[in-house]
Amino acid sequence: MSDTKIKNVIIAGGGTAGWMCAAALSKLLGKNLNITLIESDDIPTVGVGEATIPTLLVLHKLLGIDEAEFMAATNATFKLGIAFDNWRDVGKDYIHSFGFIGQDCWAAGFQHFWLKGLKQNLVTEIGDYIPEHLACREERFAILANQDKNYAYHLDAGLYAKFLRNLAEKHGCQRLEGKIQQVNLREDNGYIQSLTLASGQQVEGDLFIDCTGFRGLLIEQALHTGYEDWNHWLPCDSAIAVQTQTVGKPVPYVRSIAHDSGWQWRIPLQNRTGNGLVFCSKYLSDEDAKQLLLNNIEGELLNEPRVIKYRTGTRRKLWNKNCVAIGLSSGFIEPLESTSIHLFQQSIVRLMLMFPSNGINQAAVDEYNRQCRSEIDNIKDFIILHYHLTDRTDSPFWRYCKNMPIPDTLKHRMDLFKQNGKAVKLADELFGEASWVQVMIGQGLMPEQYHPIVDLMSDSELKDFLDTIKAGVKRKVNNWPNHLDFIKHYCQAK
């Protein structure tokens, strides 16, 4: 490995990933580093990661970002979950919200109490026992003192990158305009020595961060790291994105609408709506996909629809030699549960925790790659669950998804839930028990039994327990203002 002290950090590429990395490194480690970000105004970013999850609040706290200022600058609205239309079957919808379900006990999650209540006709839908779920449906939102991190944002990805750029440059990050023409490797160890720009300028560094998007200019084209393809599990390989004028009030959730060969997103911002169609090119052409999307959007078009091609999967190593891939250069699952920005963030935080100030060593590289891979695999399984666990057989795409082989790790989770009602959260896993329960039940997987501890309650005690939780949720959400009213008073875009 290298005993070269890390002083000069070169970030190749901008966009959300590049500027998030630049902001974090310059703000939190910048006094000891020279940080340079290279990007070209001529190279567009993907820029469609406009829905986030609650973990972003943690990074923003680290960076000292004022929430209202950030939201006004990025035309952001609040997000409490995702509405899944037609996923279980055509005409069957459900919501996967943030937050926790009901009240559990030491031996069993709330779903076990709810399952017995279901058998006795004592309960309504499981979302009635989750404040964030009910607030999605009633279009309410509030920020309360000392509350859990139970919300996220819908934001303009382009404006978010600009916001982060301002923060990074304020803390000493230098931006260098130019196209990267060549990646130059050291002869002795194959490490990256420098980048040659189209202007002929040579940019040397000790640590290189690849934020060049799907191209993977450093991690793949130069270092030939290798890619693990997940197309057999996640067959969608294309997306079409377009922005429209807002019609109606922005709701506090993303809509994910399943179609014959993929699904459509609808993300409400303060000033517009982000729309897109994720689809499988084996079953739908680009032109037909574009027409399908245009036939199913609301509001006047603000730009021309653009096609984005991708391969689901991951680099075999996210850190290889003196190069760390962050963002789409590291791989791509797909946008279904808004995990892209989260993975950018986690990679950056891990890098800072293991930062190789005194030189790159194999133990740190291996541990970084192990942690990244573990998290990616768990998220991958959660996304596959949405496609595979379905009653839809109305199109070749859905018949393939329903019958495709799935990872053993996911099969075990599904079997455990079906046979025992148990939803497992692994250590450091992103999606918790409440998420797995909501999606598995929403997609139609009902447990065959509940935990016997529930039977320690009498029927009347169980009814009181369930009714009290439901009433508490209703009372809590009734005190929250309308989502749009809250935005107007808290963070209205200028």
Convert the pLDDT of each residue in 88-117 to its tens digit.
999 999 999 999 999 999 999 999 999 999
The residues near 240 (Cβ < 8 Å, ≥ 6 apart) are 276, 277, 279, 286, 289, 290, 293, 305, 306, 307, 308
pLDDT tens profile 290-341:
999 999 999 999 999 999 999 999 999 999 999 999 999 999 999 999 999 9
Sequence-separated contacts (24+) of 455-458 with Cβ below 8 Å: 455/116, 457/113
The CA-based dihedral angle spanning residues 126, 130, 136, 141, taken in that order and rounded to the nearest 10 degrees:
170
Nearest to 198 by CA among 173, 228, 177: 177
What pLDDT was estimated at residue 261?
98
pLDDT for 383 beyond 60? yes
CATH label, 79-149+238-309+395-494, candidates 3.40.50.300, 3.50.50.60, 3.40.190.10, 1.20.58.1030: 3.50.50.60
pLDDT above 90 (res 160): yes
- On the question of pLDDT at 378 being above 80, the answer is yes
- Strand order of the β-sheet with 180-185 is 180-185, 192-197, 202-204
Instruction: Say if residue 118's pLDDT is above 70.
Output: yes
pLDDT of 46: 66
Rounded percentage of the chain residues whose pLDDT exceeds 70: 99
E strand or H helix at 286, and its extent? helix 286-294
Choosing from 5, 7, 31, 79, which is the catalytic residue? 79
Predicted pLDDT at 479 = 96
pTM of the model: 0.96
The enclosing H or E element of 39 equals: strand 34-39
- At 47 the pLDDT is 60
Mean pLDDT rounded to a whole number for the chain: 96
Q: In what order do the strands lie in the sheet with 323-325?
A: 174-177, 34-39, 8-12, 207-210, 323-325, 319-320
* Dihedral, 67, 70, 73, 75 alpha carbons, nearest 10: -70
Position 410 confidence tier, pLDDT thresholds 50, 70, 90: very high
Diameter of the chain measured on Cα atoms:
79
Q: At what angle do helices 459-478 and 131-138 cross, to 10 degrees?
A: 50
Whether 79 is catalytic: yes
Q: What is the pLDDT of residue 494?
A: 82
State yes or no: pLDDT of 49 exceeds 60: no
Per-domain residue ranges for the chain?
Answer: 8-50+156-231+312-360, 79-149+238-309+395-494
pLDDT of residue 322: 97
Closest C-alpha among 317, 322, 368 to residue 183:
322
Task: Please give the DSSP secondary-structure letter assigned to residue 206.
Answer: S
In percent, the amount of the chain with pLDDT more than 90 equals 94
| pLDDT at 87 (0 to 100) | 98
Residue 44 pLDDT:
73
Spatial distance between the Cα atoms of 423 and 115, rounded to a whole number of angstroms: 13
**What are the residue ranges of helices labelled H in 5-104?**
15-28, 56-63, 67-73
Q: pLDDT tens digits, residue range 352-372?
A: 999 999 999 999 999 999 999
Reply yes or no on whether the pLDDT at 228 is more than 70. Answer: yes
> Does the pLDDT value for residue 60 go beyond 90?
yes
H/E segment holding residue 68:
helix 67-73
Whether residue 255 is predicted with pLDDT greater than 80 in this model: the reply is yes
User: Predicted confidence band at 165 (pLDDT cuts at 50, 70, 90)?
Assistant: very high
pLDDT at 148: 76
pLDDT of 490 > 60? The answer is yes
**How many whole angstroms separate alpha carbon 76 and alpha carbon 154?**
5
**How far apart, in Å, do the first and last CA atoms of the chain sit?**
51
35 and 25 in contact (C-beta within 8 Å)?
yes
The arrangement of secondary structure in 8-50+156-231+312-360, i.e. its CATH architecture, is 3-Layer(bba) Sandwich (3.50)
The closest of 47, 50, 76, 15 to 274, measured between CA atoms, is: 50
- Tell me: the pLDDT tens digits for 202-219? 999 999 999 999 999 999
Q: Supply the pLDDT for residue 145.
A: 80
pLDDT number for residue 224: 98
